[in-house]
Structure 1
Amino acid sequence: ANFINGELLGVVVAKPGEAAPWWSVRFPQELMERPTPEQQAQVLEIAREFGQGAENSYDAAAWLVGAVQRGNPEVQAAVEPIVSARAPSQLLQAFMEGVVLLAVLWWIWRRPRRPGVVGAWFLMVYGASRVLTEVWRLPDEHLSVGRPLGLSRGQWLSVAMVGAGAALLWWVLRRSQREPVGGWLVQAEPETASIPS
C-alpha cells in the first residue's frame, strides 16, 4: 500500500530533468506535498497548457496528479520531467521484510527448536533488514533530529531490535530447559520391526 499511495518515499536518485536509472520510480504526489518553487511554477504552466485555470499551484498539482492517476499519457509525459526519480524503497523493504525474512525463518524452523528461537531470529533478521533498507528511504520529516553515527532514528530502533533478538536467543539457548518443538524437516524415526520368535 505504501508504494501505491506514494508514501514512505525513497531517497532522490535523480533530480527533476536529470536522467534517472531504469529502476527508479516517480511519485507525482511530490508536486502537492513538497514542491520546490521551480516545480510550483512548472505545475501552473503545465496545468494552463491543458486548459486548467487553477488559481494556485496546489490546485493545479491536484488536477495533474489526478490526470496521471487516471492514465492520461499526455499529462504523464508533461509531468515526468518535473518530478524527482526515487529509489523504490517500498518495494525493497517489502522484499527484504517479506521474502527474505520468510526464507530465513523457514530455514531456521526446518528442525525442532526451543520455544523462543524462531522469535529471536525474527527480531534479528527483521531488524537487520530494516537497518539496510532504511538507507534508501527518506526518514520521516517529523523525526529528523540528526543522524548519530550516520543512522536515522528508524535504524537505531532496528539496531535495538537486533540486540533484543540476540539477547533473547542467548537467554533461550542458555536458560531454557524446554524440549524443542516444531520443525518441517523432521526425520522419521526408523520403525523397529518385530522379529517373529
Structure 2
Amino acid sequence: MRRVSIPRSVAAGAITSTAALVLAVGSSVPATADPSSTTMEFQVPVRHIAGCIPGLFVCVSVPPLTTVTPTATTGAPGEVTFAATPPTRTWTGLSGCLDVTVHWLNLTTGASGAATLRPVPYDYSRPYTPDNWCRYIPATAVTGSGTIAASADIGAPAPGAYQFLVTPGVGIIPVP
C-alpha cells in the first residue's frame, strides 16, 4: 500500500475554511442583545499583549492580556461601519492603545479591503478618566451587499515597545 501525504498548507486551508463555515452557520451565540439592531460584535475578539522593552523605558508592571472587541454596523446598503469597544485592560505606557486593522472579504462578490480603527487622541486639557482612555474612531467601508468575512489584528507598537497578537478577531457580517 502506498502512503499519501497532504501538504500542510492544504490542511491549514481546510481547517480555516471549516472554522469560518462553523462561525457563519452554527453560531449559537446571539450577535447582539437587540435583534432589530444592525450592530453586531465580532464572534472572536482581538487579544494581544503589548508593553515596553526594559532598559529603554521605565516599565511599571508586567503587561496584561488585552481584549478589544470589534463591531460592525450595517447602515446604507453595501456599507459597513467598523468600530471597537475600549480594551478590557490597557497598558498605560506607550503601547496601550494600538490601532486595530479590520481586513474584510465579501464572500458574495469577491471584493476585499481593509479599514483601520485609530485611537481617539486623548484630550489632556481635561482631567483623566478611565472612560476617556483608548476609544476608537469608527471607519466605514464600502463592501457591497452580501456576506462579509472579517478578521481584525493590531497595529504596530510605539518605538521601544513590543506586542504579541494572541488571537485575531473574526466576524461574519450579513450586509444588505
Greater Rg by CA = 1
Q: TM-score, normalised by structure 2?
A: 0.26
Q: Comparing both structures, which one devotes a greater share of its residues to strand?
A: 2
Q: TM-score normalised to the size of structure 1?
A: 0.24
Structure with the largest fraction of helix: 1
